[in-house]
Amino acid sequence: MTVLRYQAVNVSVTDAGSVQHFYNVEGGTIVFDENVTPYLLAELTLTLPMQPTLPPAIDQGALDALDPRNRLQAVLVATLYEYDEATGVLHSQNDVSAALNIEDRNVDWKAGTIAVRLTTDEFKLQTEANRTTEPVSFRAHQGSLIAVCNDVLAAAGVSATLDSSSVDADVTTTSAVTNMLDNPNVTGGYDITQINCTVDTNDTSWFASGTNSINLWSPTAADSYAILGPSSFAAGNFAFGMQPGHTYTLIGTGRVKTAGTGTDYPLGGSGDVHRARALVIHTIRPGGTFLSGYDLFASAQLPNVVGATARVSVTATIPLGSTAVFIRLYNGNTASQQIQWDALMLVEGDGKETDGVNLLTYFDGSTPATDLYSYAWSGTANQSSSSRTPLIDRTPDSLTLSPGQNYWSMLEPVLGAAGRRLLCDEGGSWRLVDGVAYSVPGTVVVQQSNATALSDDIDLTQPDTVYGSVVVKYTWVNPQGNTETYYDAAGTGSPTRLVEYANRSYPGPGVAAYILAKGQGRGRVMSTTAMSDFGARPYMGARVIAPYTQTQTGVASRISFDLGGAEMDVTTRGLIDTPDGAWVLAPDAVTWSEGNAATTWHGLNNDFSNLT
């Protein structure tokens, strides 16, 4: 029986006027690569389109449709056909079908050809950038890499979201923070100054953290409050080390124990900020905005409703020229009201978590360690400041897009640190996959019946392709203008592969381990060329049956179709020697349950014939 095989490759573009243009493909390559972005790259040579007229004339509309600046898509369809001479039956075997971006067009007028480069939609992330003068944060949904990717796609103008099969990862960034208050949990009471009210520093009827809270009750005047830290207005009294020109945030959880029946402070008409049931940062400054001597910054007010609980905050940049700064927890009603305060924090900065949205989660030096942070007192417990120290260095800059930076350059190292691969397949579906474990059905087999070339190279002196350890170096300039350098490393073997990323923020550990995992088993490299099978894809299993050596099995990493020669180059990873009869060599359709109940592993035929 004689079977004839041939391929047909077609390219078409529909222009803005809905006119469809078709092009003759003279040759080129179609490459699928798990390690390169975009995932699919087609570099084709097309015949210069001509009008069907005499004398011949260029089809200008068809030529213009290939101009990358028009942002049109080219539809590529490559189909492999088989014709059985004995039966006269023609059928298609497999095909490549994709709507691709036109990345580049080069006209060779002498040869009468056009070279085009077509790619999947990752190209848009590589070319779209932050066009503003301000950095753009993608930390709002940093607990989900899927959500981050969807946010990036939307910002880049890609009208797609990730496929439901995507594998998520937590890429929460971390930062060191100091809680400047020396007894934020109000443990065992608090040394404070009470003004126009009575203060109970050990109220156990309610607490947000620990076992008790501060209660301000029995106000004798509307301007009723408790002072934390120094109570004197004398010059030089800067509570908890606050300094002019710096920005601080005071955070606390408050509860209304008894609603006020009198008048809130201020009494009205003075232009003062509302202080009742609020946290206040108060400064002394000649020429201040309030009464020519003060600057006041107040949080939102707790609702005047019994049982109302809220976590509130106030952020203030201490004015230059201030001579003193102090903190007040307000009752602020003329009668009856009782206000409880607990879980207090004073931090430098905006008081937000690294997502830039939520207030900092309360902590002190006794807070138990988490997966992300450890906590400690700077001195005696409940009498000193406390710190939050990252256990994973994952800088917030890693999810920040700088002005002029393209989306892919920000996202790529974050993906690598998480061990993920973001790809847009030929069908236009975006998915986030585990870069090592991801697989697709099928096996790419190269053997005597379809191989046209095969080389077998074992070389342990090439650290870019064969390595037992990896070191990754990141260098970038932070928002403060300082150059930062971080390293990530994995493995203990030799040789060592060094990967350097310039102008990329440190995304946390993981990239080195990911690169090392993808490189395992690369001591042996088989370069194989076989007759084209348009159904072959990266992430499929790979099987190479070569002369005078055991069968090699691994994973297909790169498939390159040569349209001119009707051949494909297959690059693999993780090749291992596989003896005859190994289960991995069983045909895809064979299952153990198909065998006779009496069949044993030792009795299994090497060709699995007693299971079929």
Q: Where are the domains of the chain?
A: 3-120, 129-175+397-434, 177-390, 443-594
- CATH-assigned architecture of domain 177-390: Sandwich (2.60)
Q: Inform me whether the pLDDT recorded for 2 exceeds 80.
A: no
Q: Inform me whether the pLDDT recorded for 265 exceeds 70.
A: yes
- Percentage of residues in the chain with pLDDT exceeding 70? 89
Q: pLDDT tens across 322-368, in order?
A: 999 999 999 999 888 899 999 999 999 999 999 999 999 999 999 99
| ∠ CA 354-358-359, rounded to 5° | 95
- CATH-assigned architecture of domain 3-120: Roll (2.30)
Using only C-alpha atoms, the chain has a radius of gyration, in whole angstroms, of 34
Q: pLDDT tens across 172-205, in order?
A: 999 999 999 998 888 755 668 999 999 999 999 9
Structure tokens of 572?
């693999």
Q: Which residue has the higher pLDDT, 609 or 145?
A: 145
Q: Are strands 496-502 and 469-477 parallel, antiparallel or unpaired?
A: parallel
* 115-128 b/e (C-beta count within 10 Å ≥ 16 → b): ebbbbbbbbbbbeb
**357 to 130, 400, 511: CA distances (angstroms):** 21, 14, 27
- Predicted pLDDT of residue 3: 63
Q: Are strands 309-317 and 294-298 parallel, antiparallel or unpaired?
A: unpaired
Nearest to 148 by CA among 168, 123, 124: 168
Three-state SS for 245? Answer: coil
Whether the full predicted model's pTM is greater than 0.85, yes or no, is no
Q: pLDDT tens across 395-444, in order?
A: 999 999 999 999 999 999 999 999 999 999 999 999 999 988 899 999 99
Confidence of residue 269 (pLDDT cuts 50, 70, 90): very low
- Predicted pLDDT of residue 517: 79
Structure tokens of 531?
């007759």
- Predicted pLDDT of residue 309: 96
Q: Inform me whether the pLDDT recorded for 369 exceeds 90.
A: yes
Q: Which residues contact 83 (CB under 8 A, 6 or more apart)?
A: 3, 4, 5, 6, 89, 90
Element (H, E) at 528: strand 524-531
Confidence of residue 389 (pLDDT cuts 50, 70, 90): very high
Distance CA 57, CA 52 (A): 8
Q: pLDDT tens across 282-302, in order?
A: 999 886 666 667 888 999 999
- Percentage of residues in the chain with pLDDT exceeding 90? 61
Residue type, 125: L
What would you measure as the largest C-alpha separation in the chain, in angstroms?
107
